[in-house]
Structure 1
Amino acid sequence: MAHPLIPQLEALAKDLLTQAGYELRGVQLHSHRIPLTLQVLVQKADGSDISLDECASLSAPLGEAIEAAELLPGAYVLEISSPGIGEELHDDRDFRSFRGFPVEVLFRDGKGAETRREGLLLERDAEAVHLNLRGRPLRIPRDEVIAVRLVTASGDS
């Protein structure tokens, strides 16, 4: 379950980032860490990755906006980064951008058991996620997919 502050943090970050010419790709609040860690994933408006300097330049204004809104009581760490390895793919843009990349798909098979498969992402269409699994096509129905995540190449895909 998502932290109850996520919608407010997303709205705040989205407004600030849009005005600065960036796009919010996700917000995660890691409340189990001490101090609390807020991770904000950002891309340029054209979908390209942002640089470390751009991450650094966004940190102060975003931190100030969060402080002004008094959303996070106490100490916290603000991490601004570009989506990458380990990140889940969510929308059509993600699936187009990472076509050909190694991914891990977590899904429920026909018997309801959770299963993982790693392969190269071919595409996602209205019915399924398609992978290249060691040279063989694999079709996983979308209604069975729990998550699709970028992974590092393992050499067996």
Structure 2
Amino acid sequence: MSRREEIENKTEALLKPIAEQNEVRIYDVEFVKEAGEWYLRAYIDRDGGVDINKCVDVSHALSDALDEHDFIEEAYTLEVSSPGLGRQLKKDRHFENSLGMDVDVKLYKAIDGTKEFTGKLKSFDSENITIETAGEDKTFIRKEVSSVKLTLDF
């Protein structure tokens, strides 16, 4: 397990009782370096969505817990937010909760001249993702997929 994954897992464990107390679900936790700065991001959700006040409440409680346990050596910025409407699907639980929904699949390399596909998420496993697009099933190898997001319909 990488240091990044260790930090994400420990943070998620700290966040679990805080999320339950605030009646939200943990969508994801990520520890990433962007433009030379470290960010610890916690994404929370609940039926009907989360508002800024809920994010603030969870952020304060998580910040206190992180200060108490002090397992992150790097300087970082803590962010707590909703995963948003066009949320990225990374973990199996994300895919499970999104079965039957429209998704946008982006590939690292083009297939038949295109790298982007949109369709209904039909199934997934550790190696493949299958969507229904234009009336047919299209299966992609997971390691060849750069991202999967819920389709934004306006």
Common fold, TM-score beyond 0.5? yes
> How far, CA to CA, are the matches of 1:98 and 1:64 in structure 2?
36
Alignment of 1:5-154 (within 5 A): 5-44=7-46, 47-73=47-73, 75-84=75-84, 85-91=86-92, 94-97=95-98, 99-104=100-105, 106=107, 116-124=115-123, 129-133=129-133, 135-140=134-139, 144-146=141-143, 147=145, 149-150=148-149, 152=151
Letter in 2 for 1:132: E
User: How much does 1:36 deviate?
Assistant: 1.7
- Match of 1:112? none
CA pair 88-97 structure 1, distance change in 2 beyond 3 A = closer
Confirm or deny: 8 A CA contact 2:95 2:124 kept in the other structure: no
What is the CA RMSD across the aligned residues, in angstroms?
A: 3.3
CA pair 16-103 structure 1, distance change in 2 beyond 3 A = same
Letter in 1 for 2:13: A
User: How much does 1:43 deviate?
Assistant: 1.5
Give identity over the alignment, percent: 18
Unaligned runs of 5+ in 2: none
TM-score, normalization by structure 1: 0.69
Residues 49-79 of structure 1: CA distance to partner in whole angstroms, max 9, x if unpaired? 2122211221111111111111223542111
Aligned length in residues: 144
User: How much does 1:153 deviate?
Assistant: 5.1
CA pair 132-101 structure 1, distance change in 2 beyond 3 A = same
> How far, CA to CA, are the matches of 2:91 and 2:23 in structure 1?
21
Residues 74-116 of structure 1: CA distance to partner in whole angstroms, max 9, x if unpaired? 54211112223251243356444463323215489xxxxxx94
Confirm or deny: 8 A CA contact 2:39 2:76 kept in the other structure: yes
> How far, CA to CA, are the matches of 1:117 and 1:19 in structure 2?
40
> How far, CA to CA, are the matches of 2:115 and 2:122 in structure 1?
17
Unaligned runs of 5+ in 1: 109-114
> How far, CA to CA, are the matches of 2:63 and 2:102 in structure 1?
33
Letter in 2 for 1:43: D
